[in-house]
């Protein structure tokens, strides 16, 4: 993070010491490592590696999120529930980016605002679990906590937490980021090409209702070409990465001091969020993330009170800095219309401008009689609509969506124009954790969100 053209600013020793205060606090959702010294050695190795992202990129994102919080932009964040090491292939990464770019074009037109594009990528390797253990039949083993901790195979060897997976997680993130940057800066993201992909989607008879919007976008692009728009500039996009900041043996060694300002940045991603399971005000995660300069998200479930929200603001955004704090609501389709408005009303009293983002995935899970974890596409859509309705009623701005998706044609969520039913789930169910929208369902959701944005 050193720029030789700028003077190096040394960090206050108290700032550096504060980055480890979390070790004195209660902490949740950490694996039980069998060898403490091996974990410490892996963390030291990671601390010696180059940063994955840079402070200037993080600052740029914070500025864009500030615009989204004030209604001048909109955040689209999408990607895998849990990335796997085996899934970090060029084809799968390309398909995820392609899906997000396609969604972004539709949203840009619907919102008539810039879309901030962010992937749940290059670090979404760790997953919180509802139980430390998993039982199958008469065998009980540690729960699968993501590839950065242990393996999915239900064997004692696979399920033992392995510190070397921390190092492998770093290297997998590096290769993923290399591909992300190549695809988003090398012409793959050309606006005209992305639109052609969407035209194919809209021509499908099942998606006929979206064809008019696709035609409108087509006319707009042709007008831009006729008017001499600089399409060389539209061949590249800014694309940011984010993941849940969960595993402290990985996040802490990825924390570096910016040579320009002497302040700490977590360089594992541009954006990190704190899950509802780890957002205890007096816990380790909140304390650590309050000390880094990255924009920080916090998941809010339906039981969140206005006082909970106020205390989170005071801890994570004491200076009330636009772009610093994002609230990601995950309340469920049946609860959001009641649970969200009191929080939106209360925010007006705190002189804070958080970015409000809808996560319509995590509050709408269900398990089918044949044992598949799934979500109904209609519930996901309904929660998004409830999110927009709440903001419209209160007079605040709905600033983004946070979606678990894949660019592949999986069958993990029920419904959508493909009419996936319970019998179809088994056809191509590939997620190791939570069900994701497939490529077609993701695009359908983008067109629906665009309709909401156009009317807002």
**Is residue 134 classed as helix, strand or coil in its secondary structure?**
strand
Which is it for strands 373-375 and 365-367: parallel, antiparallel or unpaired? Answer: antiparallel
Burial 389-404 (b: 16+ CB within 10 A, else e): bbbeebebbbbbbbbb
Phi, psi (deg, nearest 5) at residue 192:
-65, -40
Please answer whether residues 95 and 119 qualify as being in contact, where contact means their C-beta atoms are separated by less than 8 angstroms. no
Burial 120-154 (b: 16+ CB within 10 A, else e): bbbbbbbbbbeeeeeeeeeeebbbbbbbbbbbeee
| 279 known member of a binding site | no
pLDDT digits (tens, 9 = 90+) for 134-175: 999 999 999 999 999 999 999 999 999 999 999 999 999 999
| 404 known member of a binding site | yes
Euclidean distance between CA atoms 14 and 242, whole angstroms: 28
pLDDT digits (tens, 9 = 90+) for 398-411: 999 999 999 999 99
| 23 known member of a binding site | no
Which is it for strands 255-257 and 74-79: parallel, antiparallel or unpaired? Answer: unpaired
Burial of residue 261 (number of CB atoms within 10 Å: 0-12, 13-18, 19+)? middle
Q: What are 380's two structure tokens?
A: 């996901």
Euclidean distance between CA atoms 366 and 368, whole angstroms: 7
**pTM score:** 0.95
Euclidean distance between CA atoms 334 and 329, whole angstroms: 13
pLDDT digits (tens, 9 = 90+) for 14-73: 899 999 999 999 999 999 999 999 999 999 999 999 999 999 999 999 999 999 999 999
Residue found by looking up tokens 């969407």 in the block: 198
Domain assignments of the chain as residue spans, ordered by start:
13-189+236-455
Contacts 24+ apart (CB under 8 A), 339-343: 339/302, 339/303, 339/304, 340/386, 340/387, 340/390, 341/390, 341/393, 341/394, 342/306, 343/300, 343/304, 343/306, 343/309
| 413 known member of a binding site | no
Euclidean distance between CA atoms 381 and 29, whole angstroms: 30
| 28 known member of a binding site | no
Whether residue 6 is predicted with pLDDT greater than 70 in this model: the reply is: no
Name which of 119-128, 187-196, 243-252, 298-307 the model is least confident about: 187-196
| 157 known member of a binding site | no
Please answer whether residues 195 and 221 qualify as being in contact, where contact means their C-beta atoms are separated by less than 8 angstroms. yes
Whether residue 75 is predicted with pLDDT greater than 80 in this model: the reply is: yes
Euclidean distance between CA atoms 108 and 199, whole angstroms: 15
Who wins on pLDDT, 291 or 207? 291
Whether residue 206 is predicted with pLDDT greater than 80 in this model: the reply is: no
How confident is the prediction for the chain on average, in pLDDT? 94
Euclidean distance between CA atoms 412 and 424, whole angstroms: 9
CATH number corresponding to 13-189+236-455 = 3.20.20.70
pLDDT of residue 200: 74
pLDDT digits (tens, 9 = 90+) for 280-318: 999 999 999 999 999 999 999 999 999 999 999 999 999
């Amino acid at each position: 993070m050193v720029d030789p053209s700028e003077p190096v600013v040394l960090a206050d020793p108290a700032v550096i010491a504060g980055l480890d205060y979390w070790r004195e606090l209660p902490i949740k959702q950490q694996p039980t490592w069998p060898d403490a010294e091996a974990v410490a050695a892996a963390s030291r190795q990671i601390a010696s590696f180059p940063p994955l992202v840079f402070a200037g990129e993080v600052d740029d994102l914070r500025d864009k999120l500030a615009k989204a919080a004030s209604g001048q932009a909109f955040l689209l964040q999408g990607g895998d529930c849990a990335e796997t090491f085996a899934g970090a292939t060029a084809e799968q990464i390309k398909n995820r980016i392609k899906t997000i770019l396609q969604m972004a074009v539709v949203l840009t037109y619907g919102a008539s605002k810039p879309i901030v594009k962010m992937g749940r990528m290059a670090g979404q390797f760790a997953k919180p679990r509802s139980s430390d253990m998993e039982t199958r039949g008469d065998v009980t083993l540690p729960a699968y906590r993501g590839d950065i901790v242990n393996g999915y195979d239900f064997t004692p060897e696979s399920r033992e937490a392995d510190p070397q997976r921390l190092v492998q997680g770093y290297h997998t993130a590096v290769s993923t980021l290399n591909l992300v940057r190549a695809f988003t800066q090398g012409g793959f993201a050309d606006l005209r090409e992305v639109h052609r992909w969407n035209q194919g989607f809209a021509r499908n008879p099942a998606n006929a209702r979206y064809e008019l919007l696709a035609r409108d976008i087509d006319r707009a692009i042709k007008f831009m070409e006729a008017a001499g728009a600089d399409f060389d500039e539209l061949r590249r996009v800014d694309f940011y990465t984010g993941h849940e900041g969960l595993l402290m043996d990985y996040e802490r060694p990825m924390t570096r001091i910016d040579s320009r300002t002497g302040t700490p940045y977590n360089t594992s991603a541009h954006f990190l969020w704190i899950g509802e399971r780890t957002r205890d005000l007096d816990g380790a995660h909140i304390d650590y993330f309050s000390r880094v300069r990255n924009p920080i998200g916090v998941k809010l479930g339906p039981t969140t009170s206005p006082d909970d929200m106020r205390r989170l603001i005071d801890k994570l955004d004491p200076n009330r800095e636009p772009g610093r704090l994002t609230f990601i609501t995950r309340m469920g389709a049946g609860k959001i219309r009641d649970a969200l408005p009191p929080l939106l009303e209360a925010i007006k009293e705190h002189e804070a401008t958080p970015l409000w983002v809808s996560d319509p995935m995590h509050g709408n899970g269900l398990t089918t009689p044949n044992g598949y974890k799934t979500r109904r596409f209609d519930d996901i859509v309904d929660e998004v609509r409830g999110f927009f309705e709440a903001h419209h009623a209160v007079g605040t701005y709905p600033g983004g969506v946070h979606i678990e998706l894949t660019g592949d044609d999986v069958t993990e969520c029920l419904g959508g124009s493909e009419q996936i039913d319970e019998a179809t789930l088994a056809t191509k169910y590939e997620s190791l954790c939570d069900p994701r929208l497939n490529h077609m369902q993701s695009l359908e959701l983008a067109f629906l969100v665009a309709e909401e944005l156009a009317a807002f």
